[in-house]
Amino acid sequence: MNEKVPKIIGEFQTIPDNLPADGQLKLIFQPIDMTTYWRRCGLTANFVAGFYSYCYEASDTKANSLSTIINELLENASKFSKAREGRIQIELKHYGNLLKVDVSNIASKNLRESFEAFVSKLQAENVEELYFSTLESKEDGDTKSGLGLLMMLKDYPVRFGYSFNEIDADTHEITVRAIINVEEI
């Protein structure tokens, strides 16, 4: 057996995997489902966010913030998946006021490497500075502006963790985990 150990960056182990959740929801689809109808990212994000936030006070504001974060993760998972391959999974678990959102996708070696380099930079550098320097170097019409995750970190009280799991040489499972305290959003 040649099982590789996933590479973990950021807040991936804040909530132990074996801690029983108060509730959970899981959805699975293919990247092509989203890339042919991009609106489905927003629809899915609104549904998942609404499902959880109606039970909290000021639920509309919370649902909006939650939906924005989930939408960004779903768009990324769809954009950076290997074409027509694999699946995208969103799993949300809640523990009292803490929400844990995991979005997983399958990426090529190249995309995995550039994402790993990107998140290592995110961990090491100041988010505001990185946001503004990326904004300045952005070209008009860029679909990969590299601002999405920086904007989430800058504007919302969200913590991210990342897991990179090599399945074979050019097949890597990536999970982005968002941890959100609903009291804070």
Residues near ligand ATP (CB under 6 A) are 76-77, 79-80, 105, 107, 111, 114-115, 118, 144-150, 174, 176
With H, G, I as helix, E, B as strand and everything else as coil, classify residue 8. Answer: strand
CB of residue 38 vs Mg ion: minimum separation in angstroms?
12
Of 29 and 118, the one with the shorter C-beta distance to Mg ion is: 118
Of 49 and 102, the one with the shorter C-beta distance to ligand ATP is: 102
Q: How many Cα atoms occupy the beta-carbon half-sphere of 167 within 13 Å?
A: 11
Task: Name the token pair of 25.
Answer: 């929801």
Contact 162, 13 (CB under 8 A): no
Which residues are CB-neighbours of 168 under 8 A, at least 6 positions away? Answer: none
Name the closest residue to ligand ATP (Cβ): 148
CB of residue 30 vs Mg ion: minimum separation in angstroms?
19
Chain CA centroid to CA 22, Å: 21
CB of residue 43 vs ligand ATP: minimum separation in angstroms?
18
175 binds, among Mg ion, ligand ATP, none (CB under 5 to 8 A by kind): none
